[in-house]
Amino acid sequence: MTALDGGTDGTGAEIGLVGHRRSLLTRPDARTDAVSLPVGKRGLVSATGIAVQGLVRFVYNLLVGRMLPAGFLAATNSAISTALLATMLWPTSLGAAASKFVAREAGDVALREALTRYLARLSLLTSTALGAGAGLLTYFVLAPGELTTGIFVGLLTIGWSGYTFVRGAQYATGRVLRATVWDGLSFVVAVGGLVLVLVLGLRAWLLLPLTAGYLLYTIAGWPRAGRGSIEPALRTEINRFVAWGVLGSLATGGFLQLTMVLADQTGDVVSADAYAAALTLATPASMLGSVLSLLLLPALSSAVGRGDLDAVRRHTDVAHRGLVTTVGGVFGVLVVGSRLIVALIWPRLSEAVPVLEVLLVATFLLTVSTVVTESIRSYSEHGARVVALIRSAGFVVGLGVAVALIPGMSVIGIALGYLVGMVIIGSLPMVLVWRRDRHRWGALMLRVLAGTVLAGALVGLRSAAHGPGWLDVAMIAVFALGWALLHRSDLMAMVRRSVRPRT
């Protein structure tokens, strides 16, 4: 049985099912699953969570960039990036491990409880150690002498680490709605607190509201788990999965956060602020991949646990087509409309436009590889190793290109280096799954190529005209219509699946 169907352990104990109202008011419990939402609603609720989390950092940076002098935007982003980078050294992959293994072992209640307890303790220990390290690094190296900043970077590391673990555990037990509702509450705490800090002029406390939001989410959602231990073989499998996941996370999300730290260290305040502005706009879109992983990994792992590889292949094909169709349209609109978007949000930072365009293309390549990456990782621990090695290769090559280009191109060189890395990281997993499962993706890739050419042509035409203005709006409409026509068959299939009655 799958995690959302309930199950039994060796003694006949059943995994209980709870309604979503009850799941909202109680802490997650390894012995129960929330009643499964229909596929369409589950996707909508998850997308809402993505949007809310993207808005947290976007609104945060919008307020800081608009209300404080030059330099604060880059400094705040650099501090946040340091904390997020620290969490990728272990805790982020623990969230993926919770999503995978707790869902896979849905038929054994005692093992589920022991797994949750083991992962929770590991999350607490590693996040505390990494929080201390990130705080000390900030105080002594990145922001020398700024004790308050160092403390908040450390606490933010702990809060974000706990958030990723709790979210993974909730997705593994079907509590998608609960996870999203608490995303909204953490948004209110973070943004509302920031407004208060700005009104009171407490500039040294800018990171406090964001930290408080994630700590609230962590404390309220920390899962209940009974006693018990897990077999050494399973512990070894989990640790290997996490270790390879750490390597992969550092090569993707860690690479993105590292580029912000590099931009801040260039010493060019205006360019660093422009990079921070572009990163602020690109980051919400990049979060789609991480949340989609939480949805896909439990489903694929459950199918692998049942030995149903045909289901893995079908699920991969449908999810990949849907992801390419929707995300491609969204990213294309953002690239074509980048000049207008920057003018509306960051009117003083027009230098952010080319950086934003490059980051959006790179983030698109990473995001559309999510489905095939999780398909590889769900098969076995060897899949996690393959993904980690591919991502490491992309990281090394991309970072090398970025470092080589910084002296002559400043922050745009950093963005180009990140793009080179994402070409490797996004393309190789798709080629591997395409060949392994013999998917019929040839026509899909040709349509993506045609859409890319259309976007490139529109950007070239836009650069020859003064603006921004109505021409930018018209070009956005042209691209959206062109993309919809190119992918009309996949779009119609998605609509039919979303309205199909649940069986």
pLDDT for 328-355, tens place per residue? Answer: 998 999 999 999 999 998 888 888 999 9
Predicted confidence at residue 181, as pLDDT, reads: 94
Q: State the pLDDT at residue 26.
A: 85
- Indicate whether 462 and 423 sit together in one domain: yes
**Helix 39-67 vs helix 176-200: crossing angle, to nearest 10:** 10
Question: Same structural domain for residues 226 and 315?
Answer: no
Residue 464, in any domain of the structure: yes
More confident site: 481 or 381? 481
In one-letter notation, the amino acid at residue 44 is L
Residue predicted with more confidence, 480 or 350: 480
Which residues, other chains included, contact 104 with Cβ-Cβ below 8 Å and sequence gap of 6+?
3, 298, 301, 302, 304, 305
Question: In total, how many domains does the chain have?
Answer: 2
Same domain? For 170 and 211 the reply is yes
In this prediction, residue 320 carries a pLDDT of: 86
The pLDDT of residue 419 is 97
State which of 197, 230, 263 marks the end of a domain: 230
217 lies in the same domain as 300: no
Residue 426: is its pLDDT beyond 90?
yes
Domain contains 242: no
Of 245, 241, 253, the residue nearest 288 (C-alpha):
253
Q: Write down the pLDDT at residue 421.
A: 96
- Per residue in 102-154, pLDDT tens? 888 877 888 999 999 999 999 999 999 999 999 999 999 999 999 999 999 99
Which of 39, 48, 47, 4 has the alpha carbon at shortest distance from 497? 39
- Same-domain pairing of 376 and 483: yes
Under the banding of pLDDT at 50, 70 and 90, the label for residue 4 is very low
Co-location of 216 and 261 in the same domain = no
**pLDDT at residue number 47:** 75
pLDDT number for residue 122: 95
Q: Which of 230, 264, 283 is the last residue of a domain?
A: 230
Give me 415's structure tokens.
Answer: 């963005």
Mean pLDDT across 275-295: 71
Name the residue range of residue 459's domain.
251-496
Kindly state whether residue 257 falls inside one of the protein's structural domains.
yes
Judge if 96 and 200 occupy the same domain: yes
- Give the chain's mean pLDDT: 87
More confident residue, 118 or 320: 118
238 lies in some domain: no
- Between residues 279 and 300, which one has the greater pLDDT? 279
The answer to whether residue 240 sits within a structural domain is: no
Same domain, 271 and 370: yes
The identity of residue 28, as a single letter, is P
Kindly report, residue by residue over 27-67, the tens digit of the pLDDT. Answer: 888 888 888 787 668 777 877 887 788 889 889 989 998 89
How far apart CA 359 and CA 382 sit, in angstroms, is 30
Residue 101 shares a structural domain with residue 188? yes
Q: Is residue 84 part of a domain?
A: yes
**Region 430-444 average pLDDT:** 93
Same domain, 6 and 104: yes
Max CA separation in the chain (angstroms): 73
User: Of the residues 230, 260, 286, which one is the last residue of a structural domain?
Assistant: 230
State the Cα angle at 171 between 169 and 172, rounded to 5°: 65
| Residues 59, 187 within the same domain | yes
84-93, 362-371, 380-389, 452-461: segment of lowest average pLDDT: 380-389
**Stretch 260-268: mean pLDDT, rounded?**
85
Confidence check: pLDDT of 366 > 50: yes
Percent of the chain with pLDDT over 90: 54
246 located within any domain = no
Q: What pLDDT sits at residue 31?
A: 86
Q: Is the pLDDT of residue 455 over 60?
A: yes
Q: Is the predicted pLDDT of residue 377 greater than 90, yes or no? A: no
Question: What is the DSSP secondary-structure string of 148-190?
Answer: HHHHHHHHHHHHHHHHHHHHHHHHHTT-HHHHHHHHHHHHHHH
Q: What is the pLDDT of residue 184?
A: 95
Q: What is the DSSP letter of 501?
A: P
pLDDT higher at 494 or 212: 212
Do residues 53 and 289 touch, judged by C-beta distance below 8 A? Answer: no
The pLDDT score that the predictor gives to residue 404 is 96
319 located within any domain: yes
- Between 443 and 1, where is the model more confident? 443
Residue 299 binned pLDDT confidence (cut-offs 50, 70, 90): low
The pLDDT value given to residue 8: 39
pLDDT at 292 > cutoff 80: no
CA end-to-end distance (rounded Å), the chain? 16
The average pLDDT across 265-272 equals 83
Q: State yes or no: pLDDT of 233 exceeds 60.
A: yes
Are 293 and 208 contained in the same domain? no
Question: pLDDT tens digit string along 164-214?
Answer: 999 999 989 989 899 999 999 999 999 999 999 999 999 999 999 999 999
